[in-house]
């Protein structure tokens, strides 16, 4: 059985999960489900690059892919339903395949995917609009259809109406500067899909065929370029005055709106019980917010919620058992709650890599 890129991706996820989550955790990960469990799993199992990167995968397709992998002895079932691990015989083969077709190095779905979708829509439309403006031709069909995207580009053009002649040259210079400095990035993967004056960019399928890649592999290579660009522009906005205007304002620590509210109240000295009453939310919801804070804010202290002795014991058990299964840890550590375990794993997950 010759693996497709998508099958290899599923295998990679299963290898990372080590049978500790069901196959549907992969479904939620690739769809970018904004639940506490999915976000925490993405961090715990070092799968944040893939978060929200394949939202068009259906449950049926995932089940079919897993079934094929099982039938061809790439994976084996554990004692739990819908839990699988990569077979020992296939581990080396998978590692070899990942070297031949690696998951792109600049991929960062957790941080950049949502931003990249907007950036691509706005940039591709802006390039098309500028190319027609330079030719004084207004008869064309916009390649992007969403009203929000059309409005964003129209607003940008109106704000720069006195500089339209030089706008194309300045945008071109910024793109060259952004894409030409990293040898691991192939600008052609991106450029081939751009539309200009009387020129239509290639579709995803056409581009994949042009580069002789599976469509899923090309799709991830294309995302890799977008994520690289967004990351570079966000870090050096002054170097890219045009491109940076196409990005949404950077959100602090990428917290969800509800978690930001809880964080603000915690910083004002309110307890979990106070916040529950004030916001009329369940304890579990506030605890989810605190776990998210531990995941995403580097200097967030979990000491007020888990004493240091318990923290050390949870860390010790996790390292010794080589597992991140909450129930197992709960049975091994005396007088501990799921919330306390989740907090410790969220705070120190990178150091506890299995």
What are the pLDDT digits (tens) for 234-244? 999 999 999 99
Q: Rounded to whole angstroms, how far apart are CA atoms 42 and 294?
A: 14
Say yes or no: 26 and 144 in one domain: no
**Bridge partners, 75 (sequence order):** 86
Res 23: pLDDT: 96
Say yes or no: 202 and 235 in one domain: yes
Q: Rounded to whole angstroms, how far apart are CA atoms 316 and 339?
A: 17
| Polymer length in residues for the chain | 354
Say yes or no: 205 and 114 in one domain: yes
Say yes or no: 92 and 138 in one domain: no
pLDDT of 168 above 80: yes
Res 264: pLDDT: 94
Q: Which of 151-165, 220-234, 297-311 has the highest mean pLDDT?
A: 220-234
Number of CB atoms found within 10 A of residue 305's CB: 18
pLDDT of 327 above 80: yes
Determine, yes or no, domain membership for 150.
Answer: yes
Contact 7, 68 (CB under 8 A): yes
Determine, yes or no, domain membership for 292.
Answer: no
End position of a domain, from candidates 69, 100, 131: 100
Taking residues 54-68, report their average pLDDT.
Answer: 96
End position of a domain, from candidates 48, 77, 100: 100
Q: Which domain holds residue 31?
A: 5-100
Say yes or no: 114 and 92 in one domain: no
Q: Rounded to whole angstroms, how far apart are CA atoms 193 and 123?
A: 11
Residue 324: pLDDT band with limits 50, 70, 90: confident
Determine, yes or no, domain membership for 116.
Answer: yes
**Where residue 15 sits, what CATH number does that domain have?**
1.10.10.10
Q: Which of 41-45, 147-151, 159-163, 292-296 has the lowest mean pLDDT?
A: 159-163
pLDDT in tens, 102-147: 999 999 999 999 999 999 999 999 999 999 998 989 889 999 999 9
Residue 181: pLDDT band with limits 50, 70, 90: confident
Say yes or no: 241 and 118 in one domain: yes
Q: How many domains does the chain have?
A: 3
Say yes or no: 93 and 117 in one domain: no
Determine, yes or no, domain membership for 57.
Answer: yes
Say yes or no: 90 and 138 in one domain: no
pLDDT of 354 above 70: no
Q: Rounded to whole angstroms, how far apart are CA atoms 242 and 183?
A: 23
Say yes or no: 159 and 218 in one domain: yes
């Amino acid at each position: 059985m010759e693996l497709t890129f998508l099958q290899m991706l599923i295998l990679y996820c299963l290898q990372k999960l080590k049978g500790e989550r069901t196959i549907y955790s992969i479904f939620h990960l690739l769809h970018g489900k904004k639940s506490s469990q999915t976000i925490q799993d993405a961090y715990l199992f070092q799968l944040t690059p893939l978060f929200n990167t394949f939202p068009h995968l259906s449950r049926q397709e995932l089940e079919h892919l897993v079934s094929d992998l099982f039938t061809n002895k790439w994976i084996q079932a554990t004692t739990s339903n819908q839990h699988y691990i990569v077979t020992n015989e296939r581990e080396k083969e998978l590692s070899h395949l990942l070297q031949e077709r690696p998951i792109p190095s600049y991929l960062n779905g957790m941080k950049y995917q949502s931003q990249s979708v907007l950036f691509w829509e706005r940039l591709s439309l802006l390039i098309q609009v500028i190319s027609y403006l330079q030719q004084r031709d207004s008869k064309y069909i916009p390649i992007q259809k969403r009203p929000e995207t059309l409005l964003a580009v129209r607003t940008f053009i109106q704000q720069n109406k006195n500089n339209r002649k030089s706008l194309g040259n300045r945008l071109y210079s910024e793109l060259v500067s952004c894409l030409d400095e990293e040898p691991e990035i192939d600008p052609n993967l991106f450029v081939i899909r751009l539309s200009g004056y009387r020129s239509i960019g290639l579709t995803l399928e056409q581009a994949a065929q042009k580069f002789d890649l599976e469509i899923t592999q090309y799709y991830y290579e294309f995302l890799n370029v977008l994520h690289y660009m967004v990351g570079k522009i966000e870090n050096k906005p002054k170097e890219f005055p045009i491109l940076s205007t196409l990005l949404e304002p950077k959100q602090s620590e990428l917290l969800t709106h509800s978690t930001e509210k809880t964080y603000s109240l915690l910083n004002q000295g309110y307890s979990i019980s106070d916040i529950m009453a004030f916001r009329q939310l369940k304890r579990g919801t506030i605890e989810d917010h605190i776990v998210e804070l531990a995941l995403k804010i580097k200097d967030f202290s979990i000491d007020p919620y888990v004493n240091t002795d318990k923290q050390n014991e949870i860390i010790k058990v996790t390292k010794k058992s080589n597992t991140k299964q909450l129930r197992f840890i709960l049975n091994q550590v005396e007088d501990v709650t799921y919330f306390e375990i989740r907090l410790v794993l969220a705070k120190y997950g990178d150091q506890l890599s299995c």
